[in-house]
Chains A and B, each alone.
Chain A
């Protein structure tokens, strides 16, 4: 189907790119301790980009069933389109990446229900009164990219995921833990145990004093740090000249305890051999011991800046994204290097501080400049102990100032949005409470 569409497009256009994705998934969802629904999808999406007389044309649809409509859309779009300074990707060797498991693909629905039932029973034994939500999902995705320049990229990936959450009594906020793997895992005992521990931490609510204090950034909060940083090193902000990191290449921008890799080649969820433009992905340091080492470029921003794409053209965004979206510079799969501390050691070391597990309102912070002002979600730590959940607490600062002073990085690594991060203990940040 794709070859046929590509051949037909060659007669009309100078250069063409076809992106096609199929998704098949099933999920079992428990809400308030009872099976809420079983959900399944069999869906696809196609996006085509063409060049006609140097001008960009775009088309998209849900299936490949109507190639004529796609070609017409693309021609109409290219008639008004701007000249673009780049060509679509050309034939290349891709790194061997296989984040696929047949067992995940075949995983039976009844077994997903069993995991939910066991997790529910184990949690209710310890916390009999809570309203518990559990989702187990298996996903299978197949991406194909073909260009007239000879790119033929294809990757299948699978994922089995487990999420448990529960609203905190007397508040509307939730505690959650999750686990995702490429291949099926046994019962997610660690996630369940940690969930129970964290839920117990929420029994009291605490509003800290308004002052500067140490902050432990949990992996699930580190995605705010990562997104702010990755916006700063995005080709988009560089050629617009709005990045605060314009002239910071090879300079110290963060603590030397921090090394951030973009690593799509290791076998873990999110692994990819090529980006959404069919360019091979790269494993490389973005920040090495606090020194800025590299930028994120796609075909378009690469061409604007007189450089090649770094294999970071993805159809991803803070909101939106997806098959019909234009690619833009985005990290492939982040990995922040662990060190030798641990969460428990960090907690024990603090006389007064907070454990940050999330932040609300991040997207209204001026994060492209490194500024983060959020309502803090997490826990209060006093005299080396967690004393309760945060209530009415704001956190603000700039990552290029606060993350210059990192006291410790944990050995535990967990998945957050966009990648994998350890716990990071930042010397001090402004907390606004009482």
Chain B
């Protein structure tokens, strides 16, 4: 495959050309209660071309390998048009020329398990959850995805690499009277099938919470101190801060970039945030990115001060900052964009008990339930929470949503736990000016954190 791609590359009239080709396999099994919604083992192939000419850029995606030469020709011609209109010329930061293989080496390879056993495992967990009182709907899914990739560039890089993940997730809906509540839990997220085994207690505990929530109270609205659990804190750092550390998003937003100069003080001294794709056991681990740059560890916030950011070769050149190996595409029809690998808040020194004891009236939010950000504004849900009164955890609460401004909230992080954990399932949606790409190979982690003030918007 590499030879075929390199031969086609030779025909390009562009100043720089690269081609990525993918051969992907996905196993999907999903149930809704006892009904099998999907069981499939499918394939997907295709490729993507990028050309730069006279400082202009063009990209092209194709499905049929026979269309490769035609695609390169169109892409090269488009880059020439782009170059003739582009005012501020684009360039690529220099990178090491790579050749050879960069392959996964899983502890327990999900591809070694037969489809029938994956199916039985999912049904086993489902059956346990169906016995939890008040639980009315269980949506469960098993997924594994193997992506075999080849990348060549006109600079001489020619590599073969792959990505692999497996996971099991459940969304558990409970109902009592008119009140419908759900919780969810995903396990796995990396290339290790072993993480999917023996997880009965984890799923059951989350199922029982869904049932309890149907009689839980709703939150008042207002501004309060909160403690976020690891899952919720990880979503916060991913959504609210992580996306702003992706340089491609800042390229077209100079006013915002001005706020985010390296050296800017963003939080208190206790705050350290890192992106590290070399942690292979977490969902975002990988060896090389989709423009042939090696994965590495990047400090984003060091002692409360902005220390670095995630880059493509193009943004690294434009910003004059180091390469970070964060350019990734989720499939052959997509161009790589700057993505978080494994972003996390580094462990601090506080215990959870100290955090609870420090709050007179506030809330403890548990379990991520979606999040969204636009610039410095963020909002996200929690699966459930507890009231904290006079330093003690109290009643269970439901329908929680919190929001705030990033910069103010980072300053308000007053305690950081000593209990860093990575979320087992990765996941991140980003368009980056193109179509939405849902990247399962994006991990996040955090310890418990205390924020002195956020806006809580409950059901009323």
Contacts and interface: CB of A to CB of B under 8 A. Distances in A.
B199 interface: no
Contacts of A168: 375
Given A41-B61, A61-B44, A171-B375, A361 B381 contact: yes
Given A43-B46, A324-B44, A364-B381, A131 B255 contact: yes
A362 B173 CA distance: 19
Nearest to A171: B375
Interface residues on B, range: 35 or more
A128 interface: no
Nearest to A65: B64
A309 B79 CA distance: 47
Contact of B41 (A77, A173, A324, A397): A77
Contacts of A203: none
Q: Quick one: which of B39, B222, B252, B406 has the most chain A CB within 10 A?
A: B252
A170 interface: yes
A81 B36 contact: yes
B178 A364 contact: no
A397 B374 contact: no
B402 to A, nearest CB: 9
A375 B221 CA distance: 13
B12 interface: no
Nearest to A113: B85
Nearest to B433: A29
Interface stretch (B52-60, B95-103, B152-160, B389-397): B52-60
Contacts of A430: 221, 460
B254 A364 contact: no
A395 to B, nearest CB: 8
A76 B59 CA distance: 37
B62 A43 contact: yes
A15 to B, nearest CB: 17
B244 A172 contact: yes
B119 interface: yes
B141 to A, nearest CB: 12
A127 interface: no
Interface string A100-142: 0000000001100100010000000000000101010000000
Contact of B377 (A131, A170, A173): A173
Contact of B85 (A35, A45, A56, A73): A35
A173 B62 CA distance: 33
Nearest to A59: B42
Nearest to B249: A172
A36 interface: yes
A381 interface: no
B39 A173 contact: no
B405 interface: yes
Contact of A39 (B45, B253, B434): B434
B39 A77 contact: yes
A394 interface: yes
A361 B433 contact: no
Interface string B425-451: 000010001101010000000000000
Nearest to A373: B401
B43 A39 contact: no
A244 B179 CA distance: 10
B269 to A, nearest CB: 25
B45 A62 contact: yes
A204 interface: no
A167 B249 CA distance: 11
A375 B116 CA distance: 44
Nearest to B370: A364
B81 A113 contact: yes
B40 A58 contact: yes
Contacts of B62: 41-43
Q: Quick one: which of A63, A320, A377 has the most chain B CB within 10 A?
A: A63
B58 A174 contact: no
Contact of A73 (B43, B67, B375): B43
B286 interface: no
Given A35-B56, A173-B377, A133 B252 contact: yes
B321 interface: no
A297 interface: no
A152 to B, nearest CB: 23
Given A37-B82, A39-B434, A324 B42 contact: yes
Given A40-B74, A172-B376, A360-B374, A31 B252 contact: yes
Given A37-B57, A172-B376, A366 B399 contact: yes
Contacts of B44: 60-62, 324
Given A131-B253, A167-B375, A361-B381, A38 B81 contact: yes
B314 to A, nearest CB: 10
A241 to B, nearest CB: 7
A336 interface: no
B348 interface: no
B86 interface: yes
A360 B372 contact: yes
A69 B82 CA distance: 40
B373 interface: yes
A252 interface: no
B379 interface: yes
Contacts of A362: 372
B333 A43 contact: yes
A415 B217 CA distance: 38
A392 B455 contact: yes
B137 A240 contact: yes
A162 to B, nearest CB: 15
A374 interface: yes
A153 to B, nearest CB: 21
B408 to A, nearest CB: 9
B175 interface: yes
B4 interface: no
Interface string A61-98: 11101000100010011001110000000000000000
Contact of B136 (A29, A240, A364): A240
A113 B86 CA distance: 11
A363 B45 contact: no
A173 B459 contact: no
A32 B381 contact: no
A362 B372 CA distance: 9
Given A173-B375, A364-B370, A42 B67 contact: yes
Interface string B59-72: 11111100100110
A368 interface: yes
B251 interface: yes
Contacts of A81: 36, 39
B81 A397 contact: no
Nearest to A22: B63
A308 to B, nearest CB: 20
A396 interface: yes
A375 B456 CA distance: 10
Given A41-B60, A242-B136, A365-B381, A171 B252 contact: no
Given A242-B137, A394-B401, A432-B221, A326 B37 contact: yes
Contacts of A73: 40-43
A409 B74 CA distance: 47
A248 interface: no
A44 interface: yes
Contacts of B429: 319
- Listed from nearest, the 3 A-B pairs whose CB atoms lie closest are A172-B375, A364-B381, A361-B379
26 contacts: A34-B86, A34-B87, A35-B85, A36-B252, A36-B433, A37-B56, A40-B59, A40-B61, A40-B75, A42-B60, A60-B40, A60-B42, A62-B63, A73-B41, A131-B253, A169-B255, A171-B376, A240-B137, A319-B436, A360-B377, A361-B381, A361-B401, A364-B371, A364-B372, A394-B455, A432-B221
Given A35-B82, A373-B457, 18 more contacts: A36-B433, A37-B58, A38-B56, A38-B79, A40-B74, A42-B71, A80-B39, A81-B39, A172-B256, A360-B373, A360-B377, A361-B371, A364-B369, A373-B399, A375-B379, A391-B377, A391-B405, A430-B460
